[in-house]
Amino acid sequence: MTILCRHYLVIPVDHIPTVKDLQRKPEDYSLVNHMLEVGKMLVQRDAPQCHQYRFGFHQPPFNSVNHLHLHCFALPYTPRWKCMKYIAMGPFGFLEAEKLLGKIKPLPQVISKV
């Protein structure tokens, strides 16, 4: 049996140091959403036989590179121990892309009638 795993990084051109630098702004939300769409397209195209995928970001202080990048996985991890690098630990560790989108989703504008 062949175990296949794909690991891609989706990296924006503009420099954003970490996920902590993203805000509830439409442009930040749009960027992360686009990165996730690109990542999904890559792993589904290159590993169609895989049925599990994972997408996320390292958070400080556990990021090794100070340039925002999305990790895109077609599972399983090979070798299996590699999953240890991608454990969520609350405000530290690995942050799932969907959770980040929830955190930075712009709030609806309140229109006051004065």
The CA distance from 64 to 80, in Å, is: 21
* Residue with token string 């509830």: 24
Residue 34 annotated to the active site: no
Q: Which residues contact 56 (CB under 8 A, 6 or more apart)?
A: 70, 71, 86, 88, 94, 95, 96, 97, 99, 100
Q: Which of 7, 15, 34, 71 is catalytic?
A: 71
Type of residue numbered 42: L
Catalytic sites, residue numbers: 71
